[in-house]
């Protein structure tokens, strides 16, 4: 064995060093173990509901890793929560992730925590051309800001600023800004949500649980008072298969509100380098994006329509973009340790 940071480590073999990337959301956790040269050793998707806490999940993952690959030289965990310090609780799951405790309990030499959309932001630079679907060509400016938004279990947002030949990512909690109704139907939705919540954010709607809320709202508007506890996946599948009119209407409304908030983010940041749509809901509903509900709402900003027409809009068709960013950051952290 050798000490991380020693010249002997560098002279040995990069393949002896391993990186662990994790993308920890409210519903699932993606983990990827790789060699420093980029070769993927092991990648797993684990369902969070199957584990009492994150340490139990990580224990299950490490039980599948052979001893010769340990300890992990550098790890980066992307966490769906606002971060401050080395200990954090997930926004949409009562899990505590404590860096120092994990370093003591697991075979990890270095560990950093980042916001999940910070990792997504860094992952954008690692994408291949065919990982992006162009929703609006716009007039891209290479040295301008970028922005990313993504609905999944929650609603993530981040801003990217150019830095030399790479990017600096600034995570935000913009998904928790106040939901603004755009018409009479959305005002009725807002009124209904105020009966349940003190604060109604965009994440209350643009998320898996939010889609279920939208569906029930549409069912009630259509005069059907039966409570149907469908999951977001069941609703989107019904809409895609055109088997349930209420599901179709709910998905169209979801896309309109999603486009409106993406437009809000675009006006706030003017990301002339592009705005990127991430998250599991986007990947699973490409057909709905292509129907135009999202972009129509994105552009519906009155006098600012012409400004928004110039901003490139891309849909990320790669569910592992957060892992790509976390792996990049794990590698950078190891490089910094070696060269300090």
If you write DSSP's letter for every residue of 20-79 in order, what string do you get? Answer: EEEEE-SSEEEEEEEETTS-EEEEEEEEGGG-SSHHHHHHHHHTTS-GGG-SBSEEEEEE
pLDDT value at residue 79? 97
Nearest one of 49, 121, 50, 117 to 80, comparing CA atoms: 117
Phi and psi, residue 115, nearest 5°: -65, 145
* In contact, 119 and 319? CB cutoff 8 Å: no
Helix (H, G, I), strand (E, B) or coil at 88: strand
* Tens digit of each residue's pLDDT (9 = 90 or more) over 95-146: 999 999 999 999 999 999 999 999 999 999 999 999 999 999 999 998 999 9
CA–CA separation, 103 vs 307, rounded Å?
A: 48
Residue 122 to residues 97, 127, 260, 269, 322: CA-CA distances in angstroms?
21, 10, 25, 18, 8
Q: What's this model's pTM, rounded to 2 decimal places?
A: 0.92
Q: Reply yes or no on whether the pLDDT at 287 is more than 90.
A: no
Query: Any idea what DSSP says for residue 18?
Result: E
- Number of residues written out for the chain: 340
Residue 136 CA to its chain's centroid (Å):
21
Sign of the torsion angle spanned by Cα atoms 166, 172, 175, 179: negative
* Tens digit of each residue's pLDDT (9 = 90 or more) over 47-68: 999 999 999 999 999 999 999 9
- Quick one: 338 exposed, middle or buried, by C-beta within 10 A (0-12, 13-18, 19+)? middle
Confidence of residue 12 (pLDDT cuts 50, 70, 90): very low
pLDDT value at residue 316? 97
* In contact, 255 and 240? CB cutoff 8 Å: no
* Tens digit of each residue's pLDDT (9 = 90 or more) over 233-249: 999 999 989 999 999 99
Q: Reply yes or no on whether the pLDDT at 339 is more than 80.
A: no
Tokens representing 329 are 């950051």
pLDDT value at residue 158? 98
* Tens digit of each residue's pLDDT (9 = 90 or more) over 134-157: 999 999 998 999 999 999 999 999
Phi and psi, residue 159, nearest 5°: -120, 140
Confidence of residue 229 (pLDDT cuts 50, 70, 90): confident
Pick the range with the lowest mean pLDDT from 169-173, 225-229, 263-267: 225-229
pLDDT value at residue 144? 97
pLDDT value at residue 244? 93
CA–CA separation, 136 vs 299, rounded Å?
A: 11
Burial 186-217 (b: 16+ CB within 10 A, else e): beebbeebeeeeeebbbbbbbbbbbbbbbbbb
Q: Reply yes or no on whether the pLDDT at 4 is more than 50.
A: no
CA–CA separation, 332 vs 74, rounded Å?
A: 9
């Amino acid at each position: 064995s050798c000490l991380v940071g020693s010249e002997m480590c560098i002279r040995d073999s990069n393949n002896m060093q391993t990186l662990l990337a994790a993308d920890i959301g409210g519903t699932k956790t993606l983990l990827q173990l790789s060699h420093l040269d980029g070769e993927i050793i092991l990648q797993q998707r684990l369902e969070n509901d199957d584990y009492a806490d994150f340490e139990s999940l990580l224990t299950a993952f490490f039980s599948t890793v052979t001893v010769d690959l340990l300890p992990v030289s550098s790890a980066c965990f992307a966490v769906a929560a606002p971060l401050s310090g080395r200990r954090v609780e997930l926004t949409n799951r009562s899990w505590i992730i404590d860096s120092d405790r994990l370093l003591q309990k697991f075979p990890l030499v270095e560990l950093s925590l980042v916001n999940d959309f910070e990792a997504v932001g860094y992952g954008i630079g690692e994408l291949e051309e065919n990982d992006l679907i162009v929703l609006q060509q716009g007039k891209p400016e290479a040295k301008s800001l970028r922005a990313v938004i993504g609905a999944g279990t929650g609603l993530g947002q981040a801003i990217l600023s150019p830095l030399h030949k790479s990017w600096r990512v600034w995570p935000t909690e913009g998904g928790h800004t106040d939901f603004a109704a755009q018409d009479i139907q959305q005002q009725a939705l807002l009124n209904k949500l105020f009966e349940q919540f003190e604060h109604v954010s965009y994440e209350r709607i643009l998320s898996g649980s939010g889609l279920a809320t939208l569906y029930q709202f549409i069912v009630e508007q259509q005069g059907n008072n039966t409570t149907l506890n469908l999951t977001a996946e069941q609703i989107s599948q019904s809409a895609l298969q055109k088997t349930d009119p209420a599901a179709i209407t709910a998905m169209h409304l979801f896309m309109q509100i999603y486009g409106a908030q993406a437009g809000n983010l675009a006006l706030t940041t003017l990301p002339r380098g592009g705005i990127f749509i991430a998250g599991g809901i986007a990947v699973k509903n490409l057909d709905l994006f292509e129907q135009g509900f999202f972009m129509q709402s994105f552009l519906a900003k009155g006098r600012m329509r012409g400004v928004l027409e110039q901003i490139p809009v891309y849909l990320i068709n790669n569910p592992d973009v957060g892992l790509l960013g976390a792996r990049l950051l794990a590698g950078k952290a190891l490089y910094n340790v070696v060269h300090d």
